């Protein structure tokens, strides 16, 4: 069993492109959760927190409605106490998703509630299969100023059914992640508990100015590919004060996959990782991958 509290700066990962480039710590700051001009509860859009009613349409309707305020002070979607069953939904810019401490977002086990999207260009194919991949539980692309946070509320991926399909070779597409943000800037993910992800937990990719702080990630140590936090082809990322129990790498620093990543040519750079407690019996606390 590997149990290591970490204080890591990794100078080798803090890539400096010129002598005038500032250290990453000087321009990645963890700010207070943004005050948004507009706020609404997911219950205002018909969501029911009974752990059985599907709320996928309600979550997406709420985000779509609040997107009208992106250029006018931004917005916040509040998830109150309850067990909120949902499939994948997309975020918008200048937006905060806030979970009450007794709120649990439950990932649906109905595959029809998970849109299938194209493989990442720096991967060339899905990780589990040759084809596409299921969109993540919380997904966003081409966004600015996104905050996913709470009073230690929970995202529960209900991953057991996905792990069984993986082991039996029954997957048609690559398993979803809990949080994936693509081609975006100014991202904060903080003060949440993530449990039983179908696969990776937190995956910022092709993005910049990212803070992941105060996250607890829990998965059985024999669960397949439940990486904790995977910054992938990202610039200016800070990961700090997290507790991770994983069936795979706790933090995996990526820049795509093999020849596809090399051809895409977007390295991860300017990365700070510090004050982590990690448990991973068979994989790395911090892995450097290509």
Residues with catalytic function: 248
Q: Is 216 helix (H, G, I), strand (E, B) or coil?
A: strand
Contact 207, 185 (CB under 8 A): yes
Q: How many CB atoms lie within 10 A of CB 225?
A: 24
How many residues belong to the chain? Answer: 290
CA distance 219 to 196: 5
State both tokens at 280.
């991973």
SS3 171: coil
Instruction: Count the neighbouring beta carbons within 10 Å of the beta carbon of residue 3.
Output: 11
Backbone angles phi, psi at 194, to 5 degrees: -115, 125
Q: Is 1 exposed, middle or buried (0-12, 13-18, 19+ CB in 10 A)?
A: exposed
Give the Cα separation of 31 and 176 in Å (integer): 29
For residue 145, report the phi and psi dihedrals to the nearest 5 degrees.
65, 75
Q: Which one, of 73, 22, 49, lies nearest residue 235 by Cα? A: 22
| Partner residues linked to 79 by β-bridges | 99
The single residue listed with the structure tokens 């060339």 is 124
Name, in order, each residue with C-beta under 8 angstroms of 130's C-beta and a sequence gap of 6 or more: none
């Amino acid at each position: 069993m590997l149990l290591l509290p970490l204080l890591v700066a990794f100078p080798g990962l803090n890539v400096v492109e010129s002598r005038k480039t500032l250290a990453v710590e000087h321009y990645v700051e963890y700010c207070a959760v943004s005050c948004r001009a507009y706020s609404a509860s997911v219950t205002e859009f018909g969501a029911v927190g009974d752990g059985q009613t599907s709320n996928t349409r309600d979550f997406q309707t709420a985000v779509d409605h609040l997107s009208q305020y992106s250029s006018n002070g931004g917005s916040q979607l509040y998830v109150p106490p309850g067990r909120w069953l949902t499939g994948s939904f997309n975020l918008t810019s200048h937006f905060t998703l806030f979970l009450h401490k007794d709120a649990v977002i439950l990932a649906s086990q109905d595959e029809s509630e998970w849109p299938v999207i194209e493989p990442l260009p720096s991967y060339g194919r899905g990780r589990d299969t040759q084809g596409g991949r299921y969109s993540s539980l919380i997904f966003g692309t081409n966004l600015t100023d996104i905050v996913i946070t709470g009073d230690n509320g929970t995202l529960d991926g209900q991953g057991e059914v996905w792990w069984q399909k993986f082991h039996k070779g029954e997957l048609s597409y690559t398993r979803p992640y809990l949080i994936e943000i693509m081609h975006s800037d100014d991202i904060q993910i903080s003060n949440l508990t993530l449990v039983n992800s179908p696969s990776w937990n937190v995956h910022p990719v092709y993005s910049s100015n990212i803070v992941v702080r105060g996250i607890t990630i829990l998965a059985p140590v024999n669960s397949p590919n439940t990486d904790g936090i995977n910054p992938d082809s990202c610039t200016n990322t800070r990961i700090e004060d997290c507790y991770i129990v994983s069936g795979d790498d706790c933090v995996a620093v990526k820049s795509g996959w093999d020849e596809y990543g090399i051809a895409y040519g977007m390295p991860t750079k300017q990365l700070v990782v510090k004050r982590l407690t990690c448990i991973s019996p068979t994989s790395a606390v911090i892995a450097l991958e290509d």
